[in-house]
Amino acid sequence: MNFYIDGLFYKGAGIGRYYESLLKGLAKKGMKIYTCVPVEFKKDFEIDFKQYSKNILPIYVNYKKFSVKGFWKQGKILKKLEKEVSVFHFPHINLPIYAPENFVVTIHDLCPFTEFWDRSYLKRKVFEWYFKRTIKKAKKIITISKSSKEEITNIYPAYGAKIIVIYRFVDEKFLINKDYHNKERLIKDDYILFIGNRKKHKNLSRLILAFDQVKNIFPNVKLVIAGQRDKAEDEVDLLRERLNLKEKIIEVISPDDEEIINLYKYAKAFIFPSLYEGFGLPPLEAMAIGTPVLASDIPVLKEICGDAAYFFNPYDIEDMAKAICKVVTDESLRRSLIERGKERVKFFDSESAIDQHVQLYKELSRN
């Protein structure tokens, strides 16, 4: 049996990492997989997947995700592949104009249906149409948390029976004691770490305001904000300047995995103040490396982190500031969070997640 996993999100932050981990996991199982990848990333792809070259068959394309050109061209490619491929898997809702008969889609979150998606009315309506078209045609819908499944079912109850939950898992590079776990620290100061994008739902404005409240209590502790940025200047920059925190907040733009591991490893604590998530992988990565985690007390993060994080109200700046103080100063709590974190990560096992995908593909192949 041959399979197809769409790779147009390769090198993207969240979905891109999901795609890479899934592709490698399936290749290790000996599965033969076709995948469309943007030609601009050909060299990176060949390096990243060199050891799996017998099982992974890349098709390099000169169009990008969500492009009109791509919707037409990819449809033609997939139509030809239907003779070779048993099941198609789209890690996002980027279904081309021509939809294969037998496909599964992964829905990571429903952020575009929330107040946090700052797009025009027209773009929202186009997305809603596209989303419904994809889940209607899909044979199965994978989602990455029970919270996300509940959200989808609440909006589209007719498709609830199609949905299965397969949790994300921590990539082995965060678990194996590779050389770069022992590299010299990137940032010499003590620091509290945030990793993620800078979109509205990440709640960085309140994080900065909370940090401003504790900066004098911990004069030698910095706040590190690491991840991609969408704009030349955003509210993080404006707040940083208005509160005179330029020397206190360190930015690391688009860090690679080696740098991310280094940042986790040497952080006093990792903080995840999100107002909305579909899963929330960074807290688990921090736990895997042995860093105490603070997280928003939203349902999905409670589902994922269990008892291994110190929770706070993400809308309450004072509560967030108190949580930071507690985790930075209470050594007994820090040790407890670190130990519970290491145990919690074991629940999100890569072998189990990959096996669930394989089982689903085989089930769809028989139908």
Please choose, from the candidates 238, 232, 212, the residue with its C-alpha nearest in 3D space to the C-alpha of residue 223: 212
What confidence tens digit (pLDDT) does each residue in 312-340 have? Answer: 999 999 999 999 999 999 999 999 999 99
Which pLDDT score is estimated for 115?
85
Q: What percent of the chain has pLDDT over 70?
A: 98
Token digits of residue 193 = 């770490």
Tell me how far apart the alpha carbons of residues 247 and 296 are, in angstroms, rounded to a whole number.
Answer: 26
Signed CA dihedral, 148, 153, 156, 160: sign only: positive
- For the chain, the C-alpha Rg in angstroms (whole number) is 21
Q: What percent of the chain has pLDDT over 90?
A: 79
Which pLDDT score is estimated for 117?
83
Interval 169-192 mean pLDDT: 81
Please determine, for residue 14, whether its predicted confidence score (pLDDT) is greater than 80.
Answer: yes
Please determine, for residue 80, whether its predicted confidence score (pLDDT) is greater than 60.
Answer: yes
Question: To 10 degrees, the CA torsion angle through 133, 136, 140, 145?
Answer: 70
Residue 176 pLDDT class (50, 70, 90 cuts) = low
Which residue is associated with the tokens 């925190």?
245
For helices 317-329 and 331-345, angle between their N-to-C axes, nearest 10 degrees? 100
Interval 11-30 mean pLDDT: 91
pTM for the whole structure = 0.92
Interval 18-47 mean pLDDT: 95
- Contact between 292 and 283 (Cβ < 8 Å): no
Phi-psi region of 8 (alpha: psi -120 to 50; beta: other; left: phi over 0): alpha
Which pLDDT score is estimated for 183?
75
Please choose, from the candidates 66, 296, 283, the residue with its C-alpha nearest in 3D space to the C-alpha of residue 193: 283
Beta bridge partners of residue 142, listed in sequence order: 106, 164
- Contact between 338 and 292 (Cβ < 8 Å): yes
- Structural domains of the chain, ranges and CATH numbers in brackets: 2-169+349-366 (3.40.50.2000), 172-345 (3.40.50.2000)
Residue 235 pLDDT class (50, 70, 90 cuts) = confident
Q: Is 59 exposed, middle or buried (0-12, 13-18, 19+ CB in 10 A)?
A: middle
Classified as helix, coil or strand, 132 is: helix
Q: Describe the strand order of the beta sheet including 269-272 as a list of residue ranges.
A: 249-253, 221-227, 190-195, 269-272, 293-296, 310-312
What confidence tens digit (pLDDT) does each residue in 237-275 have? Answer: 999 999 999 999 999 999 988 899 999 999 999 999 999
Element housing 71 (H / E): helix 68-81
Query: 10 Å Cβ neighbour count for 300?
Result: 23
Which pLDDT score is estimated for 173?
83
Tell me how far apart the alpha carbons of residues 295 and 9 are, in angstroms, rounded to a whole number.
Answer: 27
Which pLDDT score is estimated for 177?
58
Element housing 256 (H / E): none
Range with lowest mean pLDDT among 92-101, 204-213, 261-270: 92-101
Which pLDDT score is estimated for 119?
78
What confidence tens digit (pLDDT) does each residue in 69-79 have? Answer: 888 999 999 99
